């Protein structure tokens, strides 16, 4: 029997709170903690080890083996150190735990713990026994079906003004709309996004390694060159792992921020380098230029996801 969310938690026959979330240990494949929201009206949530659950009386009530004094010494939940099952797109675990999507937390692995992210997800996927949602890989399949003989679209798109990028080594998102046509289908307008970083010399060096970056058309001719000393760097908005969208996020271990793909927890630094996760290569750098008015313009280059080398698709 498993307690439902909102089940009462009792210590020494006294109700002390209600279960608000559960935490899953991806290595043991079991619930490691229940999160108890205190009844003091302050919304404090404490992580209680599952070993402290003495008895599950019913779906609506559990008894903890700890005293009240011991309970208040359990750590307060640090929400930014966890992602939800919904965020990592691993479905149906909630069906077995009487909870709703978003209420099951999975620890965001800390790099210093030495848990390889590939092992993390292999274990989690094995434990849940489900497949990653198809919509996540659809963008990749779509471009794989695109005729490879079709010339690349090397048009420049204006995405916004550089004034928005007002801090160094921080990711700033720009959204834009472009037309896209597949085979015999009518042209569609699709929304896309890129990320731009105002890079310090150290980040420029990490990205370009002292060399200008050349971009080529389908015939092998150079269409643009990003200068290695340019302070502004644009990244494709699609994660090189499976083409999912990612975001800039601050965490306890990375207080200044990192690029985090919430689908499978690939983590990149401001230079686009992979610092953890299943991504096979760094973030894809885009051709980028700035006009006299400060408008950022990019060529919407896309590469095949899931491979080590850049294979241009669009």
pLDDT digits (tens, 9 = 90+) for 1-50: 455 567 889 988 899 999 888 887 654 556 788 899 998 778 899 999 88
Alpha helices in the chain (DSSP H): 68-71, 117-128, 138-144, 201-208
Q: Among the listed ranges 146-160, 188-202, 277-291, which one has the minimum average pLDDT value? A: 146-160
Residues whose CB falls within 8 Å of the CB of residue 136, separated by 6 or more in sequence, listed in order: 89, 242, 243, 244, 263
The SS3 call for residue 299 is: strand
Q: 8-131, which class in CATH?
A: mainly beta
Taking 90 as the threshold, does the pLDDT of residue 240 lie above it?
Answer: yes
Query: Between 251 and 206, where is the model more confident?
Result: 206
Residues carrying CATH 2.30.30.240, the chain: 8-131
Q: Which pLDDT score is estimated for 123?
A: 53
- Does residue 237 contact residue 301 with C-beta atoms inside 8 Å? no
- Read off the tokens for 132: 């990653």
In the chain, CATH 2.102.10.10 sits at 138-299
Between 61 and 237, the higher pLDDT residue? 237
pLDDT confidence of residue 200: 98
Q: Does residue 94 surpass a pLDDT of 50?
A: no
The mean pLDDT value for 157-171 works out to 97
What are the counts of helices (DSSP H) followed by strands (DSSP E) for the chain?
4, 20
Helix (H, G, I), strand (E, B) or coil at 112: helix
- Record the tokens describing residue 89, joined without a space: 């797109």
Q: Is the dihedral of CA 176, 179, 182, 188 positive or negative?
A: positive
- State whether the Cα torsion 160-166-169-172 is positive or negative: negative
Structure tokens at 294: 């400060």
Rounded to the nearest integer, the mean pLDDT of the chain is 79
Of 140-144, 227-231, 289-293, 296-300, which range is least confident? 140-144
Taking residues 91-118, report their average pLDDT: 51
Greater confidence (201 vs 83) lies with 201
Tokens of 81: 């150190």
d(CA 1, CA 113): 32
Residues 270-301 have pLDDT tens digits of 999 999 888 999 999 999 999 999 999 999 99
Which stretch of 3-17, 136-150, 191-205, 224-238 has the lowest confidence by average pLDDT?
136-150
- Its pTM stands at 0.60
CATH level 3 topology of 138-299: Rieske Iron-sulfur Protein (2.102.10)
Nearest-angstrom CA–CA distance, 249 and 126: 28
Strands 82-84 and 61-64 turn out to be unpaired
């Amino acid at each position: 029997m498993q307690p439902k969310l909102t089940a009462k938690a009792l210590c020494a026959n006294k109700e002390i709170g209600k279960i608000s979330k559960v935490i899953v240990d991806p290595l043991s494949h079991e619930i490691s903690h229940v999160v108890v929201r205190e009844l003091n009206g302050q919304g404090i949530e404490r992580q209680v080890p599952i070993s402290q659950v003495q008895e599950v009386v019913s779906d609506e009530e559990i008894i903890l083996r700890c005293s009240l004094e011991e309970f208040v010494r359990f750590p307060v939940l640090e929400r930014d150190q966890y992602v939800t099952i919904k965020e990592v797109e691993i479905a149906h675990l909630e069906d077995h735990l009487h909870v709703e999507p978003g209420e099951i937390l999975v620890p965001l692995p800390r790099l210093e713990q030495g848990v390889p992210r590939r092992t993390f997800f292999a274990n989690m996927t094995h434990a849940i026994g489900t497949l990653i949602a198809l919509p996540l890989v659809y963008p990749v399949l779509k471009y794989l079906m695109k005729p490879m003989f079709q010339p690349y679209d090397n048009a420049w798109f204006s995405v916004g003004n550089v004034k928005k990028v007002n801090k160094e080594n921080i990711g700033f998102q720009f959204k834009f709309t472009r037309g896209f046509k597949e085979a015999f289908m009518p042209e569609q307008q699709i929304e896309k996004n890129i990320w731009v970083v105002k890079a310090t010399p150290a980040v420029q060096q990490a990205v370009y390694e002292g060399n200008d970056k050349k971009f080529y058309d389908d015939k092998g001719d150079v269409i643009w060159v990003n200068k290695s000393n340019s302070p502004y760097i644009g990244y494709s908005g699609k994660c090189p792992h499976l083409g999912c969208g990612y975001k800039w996020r601050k965490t306890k271990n990375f207080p200044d921020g990192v690029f985090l793909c919430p689908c499978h927890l690939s983590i990149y630094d401001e230079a686009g380098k992979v610092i953890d996760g299943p991504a096979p290569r760094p973030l894809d750098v885009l051709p980028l230029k700035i006009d006299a008015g400060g408008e950022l313009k990019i060529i919407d280059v896309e590469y095949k996801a899931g491979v080590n080398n850049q294979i241009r698709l669009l």
